[in-house]
Each structure stands twice: as structure tokens, then as C-alpha cells.
Amino acid sequence: MNGLLLYCSLGLYLSAGILYLLNLVFEKPVLAKIAFRITLGSWVIHSVLLGILFAKTGYPFLTGSFLSYLFSAWVAPAFF
């Protein structure tokens, strides 16, 4: 299930990025709105994944490089 959530959020982030690029090319504001909603949805999925991993590994969960990268990738869209 963790892999499914990871790849689902990654695919949604990629889709949102493509929509943002299409917004730059075609200058349609609806593309940016859809991309923002997709980004928000993928961030929620990413948050669920981090919550599951936190519950599974316990505190502190940033002990391995994979979890550190996953947390860093979660923080970047949070500031977006």
C-alpha cells in the first residue's frame, strides 16, 4: 500500500507540473486552477503516506535516507 500511495502522489505531482507548463504556453487560468487542486490532492496523499510510515516506524522517523527524502519532498509543496 505504501508503494501505491507513493506512486499515486508522484503521478499526480507530475500531472500538476505538466498542467502548470501548459498554463505557461497557452495562458489559460483554468489549467493553473486544476493543477493547484491536483497538487493539493497529491499533497494530502503524500501526508497520509507519511502518517502511515510514522505509525509504522515510530519516533523519530527520519532515520533513513528514504524517509528523509520523502519528508523533504513533502515540505516543498507545503510551502508552495
Q: Give the Cα separation of 73 and 66 in Å (integer).
A: 11
Say whether pLDDT at 15 is over 90: yes
Segments making up each domain of the chain, as ranges: 2-79
| pLDDT value of residue 30 | 96
| pLDDT value of residue 11 | 96
- Label residue 48 by pLDDT band (50, 70, 90): very high
Q: Is the peptide bond before 29 cis (omega within 30 degrees of 0)?
A: no
Mean pLDDT of the 35-43 span: 96
Cell of 61: 522517523
